Amino acid sequence: MESSSPITILHLIANLKTGGAQRVLQRLVTSPGDKRLRHMVVSMGEEGVIGKELVQAGVVVHALRMTSFWNSPLAIAKLYVLLKRVRPTILQSWLYPADLLAWLVGAGRVPKVYWNIRCTRVQAKGWLDYHGWLPWLLGKLSQRVAGVVVNSWQGLEDHRLLGYAPHQWHVIVNGINGERFQPHAEARLAWRQRLGVPENGVVFGLLARNHAMKGQQEFIQAAAALARQEEKVYFVLAGREVHGEDGLLGSLVAASGCPQRFFLLGEIQQVERVMAALDVLVVPSLWGEGFSNTLAEGMACGLPCIATRCGDAARIVSEGTLLLPTGDVPALHKAMESMVTIGDEGRRSLGLVARQHVLSHFSLQGMISRYETLYLSL
């Protein structure tokens, strides 16, 4: 008996730059999964760093190169032609701009259109900022899509309040690869030697792209206060556009009084190796965070964490993790100080609990299974 054709899922994403949504999509489509499913990826922008990695892994990737208003009609036409040729069963979009495009080209043409929301309510800089008007518009259009996947319970609640009313909601939290993200003694030694951190140094890290929502400014302010008290503390910031040439971050580091203890590394591809050099991970997000990949990845690396009550942080963390109000610099300073006080053994004990918690509750295979169950049910 001839086997049935695979179910094709075409993933449409706003871009394939390095980011949380992009990394989750990459894990989903490159992990060994159900052979009845075939994944394809379309970027509205360029191929990007993640796109190149997907191609190397054997995933079919198309880049629409919708980089300006003027080439948008041609890019949309390319997507129409691709949908007609591929005839996917499911059009799964990722991030707000892709959700709008999926509705525009997919509704009535693809059997099932699913959106994927990766954030909570984002603070917009007025109506010219698409984070203001686009979620509102998508809420009005949401009844015409088959369903919406969200990666956090807080994201679901926030978007319901925005007027989202799809036929189905599905909460699928992110999954972490515990084999990739784990304590790594060799990488720890190599990175600490590279940075010039002494053996007894206590290294705090914030790993996120340079954006006001990620809390870099608050972190540097709290770190500067701690550095004036403790001689053995050091601070690593890494992520897209995180560098000393940035006017705001650079000036804050310069004003700290000890800029030599701050390391702004920019974008790092093997982020787990940098995490290995840390003693404490700090996730001081202010808004917009749904399920923080970085928080769960740091926990998987055996790091004690400090996080703000943003998005689903309270649902992610293990016992002993310090949860703080958003934007509270004195509270962040005090929490970082307490992590120095408890010593190596105290931090190691908290990190062990954190790793076991992530492996038990947020496995990569668990996430993949939930996506596959959804796709096959359609």
* Per-residue pLDDT at 2: 44
Residue 193 included in any domain: yes
Q: DSSP 3-state assignment of 170?
A: strand
Q: In this structure, is residue 141 part of a structural domain?
A: yes
Parallel, antiparallel, or unpaired for β 233-238 and 90-94?
A: unpaired
> Domain for residue 2, yes or no?
no
Query: What pLDDT is attached to residue 350?
Result: 97
Give the residue-averaged pLDDT of 20-34.
93
Q: Are residues 219 and 118 in the same domain?
A: no
Secondary structure of the chain: what % helix, strand, coil (to 5)? 45, 15, 35
Residues 66 and 137 in one domain: yes
Chain segment 174-199, per-residue pLDDT in tens: 999 999 999 999 999 999 999 999 98
- pLDDT for the residue 334: 98
The answer to whether residue 316 sits within a structural domain is yes
Q: Domain tally for the chain?
A: 2
Domain with residue 25: its CATH number is 3.40.50.2000
- 293 and 348 fall within a common domain: yes
pLDDT value of position 4: 67
pLDDT for the residue 1: 37
Q: Give the mean pLDDT of 344-355.
A: 97
Q: Do 128 and 191 fall into the same domain? A: no
Asked if 19 and 152 sit in the same domain, the reply is yes
Predicted local confidence at residue 285, as pLDDT: 97
Q: What is the pLDDT of residue 281?
A: 98
Q: Are residues 300 and 367 in the same domain?
A: no
> Domain limits at 272?
185-361
Cα distance between residue 31 and residue 52, in whole Å: 16
Average pLDDT along the chain: 94
**Confidence class for position 319, pLDDT limits 50, 70, 90:** confident
Same domain, 367 and 356: no
CA atoms within 13 A on the CB side of 147: 15
pLDDT of residue 155: 96
CB 368 within 8 A of CB 31: yes
Same structural domain, 197 and 277 = yes
Both 167 and 277 in one domain: the answer is no
Q: Identify the residue with better confidence: 52 or 247.
A: 52
pLDDT > 90: percent of the chain: 87
Give this prediction's pTM. Answer: 0.91
pLDDT tens, residue by residue, 116-173: 999 998 877 766 677 788 999 999 999 999 999 999 999 999 999 999 999 999 999 9
- pLDDT band for position 48 (50/70/90)? very high
* CA distances to 9, 66, 262, 329, 360 from 46, in Å: 20, 8, 33, 38, 36
Q: Could you give the CA distance from residue 90 to residue 113 in angstroms, rounded to a whole number? A: 6
Which pair of tokens denotes residue 303? 């790091």
Give tens-digit pLDDT for 58-81: 999 999 999 888 889 999 999 999
Which pLDDT belongs to residue 131? 77
Same-domain pairing of 207 and 153: no
pLDDT in tens, 202-253: 999 999 999 999 999 999 999 999 999 999 999 999 999 998 777 889 999 9
Asked if 168 and 200 sit in the same domain, the reply is: no
Q: Do both 162 and 194 map to the same domain?
A: no
User: What pLDDT is stored for residue 25 in this prediction?
Assistant: 97
